[in-house]
């Protein structure tokens, strides 16, 4: 991973996301973090650049990371950010999110969802409640269906290579019994080979409620970050769309990396 863009609007939520990103990337001298801001009035150009410079100085006082800035005029935030990602060949976008049902908003028409839908690059969402600590445990939920075709292994492995965490791959299915089926075993082997360098651990949970199962697992394993593979109408989308379910209480405190299949 060489280029990471952090979108900031200078709210505390976005500043928190920028600080979080800087801490995750600390020590990786090959990575350039670009602080990105778009404004919709030309008179705000100078002010935007000044604020980006001030934020850069603050972050450089806390990290040895290489930091650049990019301020753009934009009538369409999504279009301009997508263009910036593609022009700079960024491998990761970092965005903050603030609503009480933060991760629910990821999947209900927010800017973050729209950015994920552009497929420009993976999106790391940092909720306002996410306090930085060393990322030791990462969870990825998988439906174990055509893993070789539907799992975007390259961007996931690029991200894991930076964190070097314990990697947990989880499947929830009420039909699981003492032993998994031959079909599940085949998909497990495919994923094991795919992520061999990270020594993945596999878990098959026999529960009916997928979001409750993943929430319980995240709590029991002290999960620091969740990887969600974005698909159309998948269980991961269903997991986060219910804004009031208590099962979001844990996930809303940890960052989520959205990677499009």
Q: What is the crossing angle of helices 12-25 and 153-163, to 10°?
A: 80
> Per-residue pLDDT for 109 more than 60?
no
CATH 3.40.50.620 fits 137-260, yes or no: yes
Tell me the pLDDT band of 113, cut-offs 50, 70 and 90: low
- 42 pLDDT band, cuts 50/70/90, is confident
Cβ 103 vs Cβ 240: under 8 Å: yes
Separation between Cα atoms, residue 140 and residue 71, nearest integer Å: 34
Average confidence (pLDDT) over 138-157: 89
Structure tokens given for 199: 């020594």
| Between 206 and 236, the higher pLDDT residue | 206
Q: Tokens standing for 214? A: 């993943």
Band of pLDDT at residue 159, cut at 50, 70 and 90 = very high
Name the residue with higher pLDDT: 77 or 67: 67
pLDDT tens for each residue of 194-232: 999 999 999 888 766 666 777 788 888 999 998 988 765
Question: Does position 62 have pLDDT exceeding 90, yes or no?
Answer: no
Look at residue 113 and give its three-state secondary structure: helix
What's the chain's average pLDDT?
82
What is the pLDDT, as a whole number, of residue 12? 87
The residue extents of the domains of the chain are 3-127, 137-260
Residue 191: which pLDDT band, with cuts at 50, 70 and 90? very high
What's the confidence (pLDDT) of residue 144? 84
Residue in this structure with the two tokens 């030309």, named with its chain if needed: 42
| Chain-centroid distance, C-alpha 76 | 23
Q: How confident is the model at residue 52 (pLDDT cuts 50, 70, 90)?
A: very high
> Does residue 246 carry a pLDDT above 90?
no
Long-range contacts of 230-236 (CB under 8 A, 24+ apart): 230/116, 230/117, 230/258, 230/259, 230/260, 230/261, 231/150, 231/260, 231/261, 234/143, 235/141, 235/143, 235/210, 236/141
pLDDT at 185 over 50: yes
- Stronger pLDDT, 141 or 243, i.e. the higher one: 141
Confidence of residue 21 (pLDDT cuts 50, 70, 90): very high
pLDDT above 70 (res 126): yes
Max intra-chain CA distance, the chain? 66
DSSP 3-state assignment of 72? strand
Q: Which CATH class name applies to 3-127?
A: alpha beta
pLDDT at 95 over 50: yes
Look at residue 218 in the predicted model and tell me its pLDDT: 83
If one compares 234 and 179, the residue with the highest pLDDT of the two is 179
CB of 102 within 8 A of CB of 131?
no
Matching fold, domains 3-127 and 137-260: yes
Contacts of 247 (CB under 8 A, 6+ apart): 209, 211, 212, 214, 215
């Amino acid at each position: 991973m060489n280029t990471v863009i952090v979108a900031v609007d200078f709210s505390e939520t976005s500043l928190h996301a920028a600080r979080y990103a800087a801490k995750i990337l600390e020590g990786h001298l090959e990575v350039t973090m670009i602080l990105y801001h778009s404004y919709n009035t030309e008179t705000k150009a100078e002010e935007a650049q000044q604020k980006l410079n001030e934020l850069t100085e603050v972050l450089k006082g806390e990290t040895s990371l290489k930091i650049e800035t990019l301020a753009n005029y934009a009538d369409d935030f999504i279009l301009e950010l997508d263009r910036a990602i593609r022009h700079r060949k960024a491998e990761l976008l970092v965005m903050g999110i603030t609503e009480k049902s933060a991760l629910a908003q990821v999947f209900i028409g927010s800017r973050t969802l729209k950015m994920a839908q552009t497929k420009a690059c993976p999106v790391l969402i940092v909720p306002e409640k996410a306090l930085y600590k060393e990322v030791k445990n990462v969870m990825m939920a998988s439906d174990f269906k055509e893993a070789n075709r539907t799992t975007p292994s390259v961007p996931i492995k690029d991200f894991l290579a930076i964190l070097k965490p314990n990697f947990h791959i989880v499947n929830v299915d009420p039909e699981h019994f003492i032993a998994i089926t031959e079909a599940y075993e085949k998909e497990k082997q495919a994923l094991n080979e795919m992520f061999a360098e990270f020594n993945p651990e596999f878990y098959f949970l026999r529960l009916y409620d997928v979001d409750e199962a993943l929430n319980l697992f995240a709590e029991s394993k002290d999960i620091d970050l969740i990887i969600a593979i974005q698909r159309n109408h998948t269980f991961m989308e269903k997991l986060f769309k219910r804004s009031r379910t208590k099962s979001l209480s844990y996930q809303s405190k940890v960052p989520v990396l959205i990677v499009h299949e």
